[in-house]
Amino acid sequence: MRSSLALGLLASALTLTAAAFDCKKAQVAGHIYDLSPLAREITLDSNTTTPPTVTGTRYVLNPCAPLKAEPDSVPAIDRCPDGAWVCRSITNYKKDEKPRVTEVNSVAGKSSKDEPVLEAKASGSEKPAEFHWILKGAEVEKVAWSTDIKFVCNKSAKDQDLPTIVGFKDGVLSLEWAVPAACALGAGDEKPPSDGGKDKEPSGSSGGGFFSTMFSFFVVVSALYLVLGVMYNYLIVRATGLDLIPNRAFWREFPYLCSDFAQHVWSMVSGRRRGGYSVV
């Protein structure tokens, strides 16, 4: 009973949760990229004439999150697999006949735990002009599928522009996407605030960050002190009730110590104002 309580207290104090892929603060070669303007489901279609039919290939992708589940109106066999970030489907069209889906599979992402990897070739503090978004998908006929999106920094383009299909070869879907979101944020490139920068006081921002950090540090240390102290008193000292509070005697006298200290300081300050003489 005591050991389980101790483990529970320790876990609650020290547990850290892993952060999911954050498109708004994507890191590549030590630089920050805001890919959130691209966070949407995008559809890319291409058709090939295959007499007497037309074969349509469709790619649906979202660079920031897995695709949403398709509606129940779509047959289960024709839906993209759960956890897919990029889905590939092939549909056969023939005159006077209903379209027939011949293939559906994930080209990126196999489960909810899968996340893309961002890679770039850069040296030192140089901002990469391009980087790659890579994520593995399903395995089809012993060939591992994957998607490689080449992001290119292009400030003259629009984030609403669609990526270009470079090709699909040996199970690898290659795309190229030239957008402003692919440009690294940093000195001179940071996005302006929503208020246009009015009444901004940069001199106070660093101080606020310092005190905020110190306050957070104080809270974490205090929590650890309390939790570990309670565990020690409960497991080792066998204390109960208020005696579980670590150093209870000190905290009981703490207000009086503060009062005595304040009176001492006040006496010193008052003495200096009177030139060092005390009233007799």
Q: How far apart are the first and last CA of the chain?
A: 65
Residue 23 lies in a domain: yes
Residue 253 lies in a domain: yes
Mean pLDDT of the chain: 80
Residue 91 pLDDT > 90: yes
Total domains in the fold of the chain: 2
Do 8 and 26 belong to one domain? no
pLDDT, position 231: 82
The most confident of the ranges 96-105, 115-124, 125-134, 239-248 is 96-105
Do 213 and 143 belong to one domain? no
Structural domain harbouring 157: 19-182
pLDDT, position 234: 80
Do 177 and 237 belong to one domain? no
Peptide bond between residue 99 and the one before it cis (omega within 30 degrees of 0): no
Cα–Cα distance for residue pair 112/200, rounded to 1 Å? 41
20 vs 35: which has the higher pLDDT: 35
- The CATH number of the domain where 105 resides is what? 2.70.130.10
- Which residues lie below 8 Å from residue 21, measured CB to CB, with a gap of 6+? 64, 65, 115, 116
Instruction: Say if residue 109 is exposed, middle or buried (CB neighbours under 10 Å; 0-12, 13-18, 19+).
Output: buried
Do 176 and 215 belong to one domain? no
Residue 280 lies in a domain: no
Q: What b/e readout covers 254-277, taking b as 16+ CB neighbours within 10 angstroms?
A: eeeeeeeeeeeeeeeeeeeeeeee
Confidence of residue 14 (pLDDT cuts 50, 70, 90): very low
219 vs 13: which has the higher pLDDT: 219
Question: Which of 1-10, 224-233, 266-275 has the least mean pLDDT?
Answer: 1-10
pLDDT digits (tens, 9 = 90+) for 126-173: 778 899 999 999 999 899 999 999 999 999 999 999 999 999 999 999
Cα–Cα distance for residue pair 87/68, rounded to 1 Å? 11
Do 25 and 90 belong to one domain? yes
Cα–Cα distance for residue pair 81/95, rounded to 1 Å? 29
Residue labelled with tokens 């503090």: 125
Do 89 and 213 belong to one domain? no
Residue 200 pLDDT > 90: no
pLDDT, position 275: 53
Do 71 and 171 belong to one domain? yes
Do 26 and 146 belong to one domain? yes
Do 31 and 130 belong to one domain? yes
pLDDT, position 15: 35
Residue 187 lies in a domain: no
Look at residues 164, 75, 148 and name the one whose alpha carbon lies nearest to residue 107: 148
Residue labelled with tokens 């708004």: 24
Cα–Cα distance for residue pair 109/81, rounded to 1 Å? 9
pLDDT, position 214: 83
Question: Which of 174-178, 260-264, 275-279 has the least mean pLDDT?
Answer: 275-279
The β-bridge relationship of strands 172-179 and 143-153 is parallel
268 vs 196: which has the higher pLDDT: 268
pLDDT, position 122: 61
Residue 197 lies in a domain: no
Do 44 and 157 belong to one domain? yes
Confidence of residue 265 (pLDDT cuts 50, 70, 90): confident
Residue 278 lies in a domain: no
pTM for this prediction: 0.59
